[in-house]
Amino acid sequence: MGFVLYEQKDGYAVVTINRPEALNALNSEVLDELGSVFQGIDLETVRAVILTGAGQKSFVAGADIGEMSTLTVEEGEAFGKRGNDVFRMIETFPVPVIAAVNGFALGGGNELAMSCDIRICSENAVFGQPEVGLGITPGFGGTQRLARIINPGKAKELIYTAANVKAPEALAIGLVNAVYPIDELLPAAEKMAAKIARNAPIAVRACKKAINDGLQVDMDEAIQIEERLFGSCFTTEDQIEGMKAFLEKRKVEGFKNK
């Protein structure tokens, strides 16, 4: 696949949007390839995923304006669904996904980063939802995820004004977890992914599901979701070995994902 690169390492994978001549902008082909790559990831061996963009200028500069400029109402809605289906797949992907934001993350790029579990960025990163300046709304989940991730009032301000946010402010408002020099960004993401991969993968997947599902319901129902997922871990070999190792004061040599 030319527009989306995939590399599997020890326990984690790196997915790279590879359209640097267009600042990694998202067109229909890129979206389809991205969805296919995630569908093909082997969850038996991959315990975390890093998502980034090619080059040092842009994570994803947005959706392809050239493709969108002539869409009809029906085609616009279909294009929005195309992006939302892929981003929702990433958001609900069983293992954690880390966005390593290496430059511009505007429009669809910011929306793609927000569909990931964790966002870290380079010092030159710029985030924003510029759609109202183009006569449209965010179409790949921006109006929904930004208001959930940061303060709703701040989300409305950024969307209504089409203002950009540089890395320090993105950190201050909670849009990203950390900021790194560009050359240190991917190593930091790989270090985090490797750390996740060393933990019991069934338990990590259960944690992701508990957090994501719990945020959509009230606390009483959320606690019940956690209880069920907590209980499900007690059928696993990893739980038996993890607790046995703790009681024997030794480290687990390697969780088996069973």
Per-residue pLDDT tens digits for 185-237: 999 999 999 999 999 999 999 999 999 999 999 999 999 999 999 999 998 99
Residues in a beta bridge with 15: 6, 51
Which strand ranges, in their side-by-side order, compose the sheet holding 178-180?
A: 4-8, 13-17, 49-53, 97-101, 118-122, 178-180
For residues 71-76, average pLDDT: 92
Say if residue 191 is in the same domain as residue 208: no
Say if residue 160 is in the same domain as residue 226: no
Distance CA 189, CA 185 (A): 6
> What's the domain range around 211?
200-247
Give helix 237-247 / helix 201-214 axis angle, nearest 10°.
Answer: 110
Does 169 qualify as catalytic in the annotation?
no
Say if residue 243 is in the same domain as residue 124: no
Per-residue pLDDT tens digits for 227-258: 999 999 998 999 999 999 999 999 998 899 99
Does 7 qualify as catalytic in the annotation?
no
The reply to whether 255 falls in a domain is no
The reply to whether 153 falls in a domain is yes
pTM, two decimals, is 0.95
Neighbours of 193 (CB within 10 A): 27
Which of 111, 123, 169, 190 is catalytic? The answer is 111
Distance CA 38, CA 97 (A): 11
Which of 21, 33, 91, 131 is catalytic? The answer is 131
Domain count, the chain: 2
Residues in a beta bridge with 26: 63
- β-pair type (58-60, 104-106): parallel
Per-residue pLDDT tens digits for 140-154: 999 999 999 999 999
Say if residue 184 is in the same domain as residue 220: no
Say if residue 54 is in the same domain as residue 156: yes
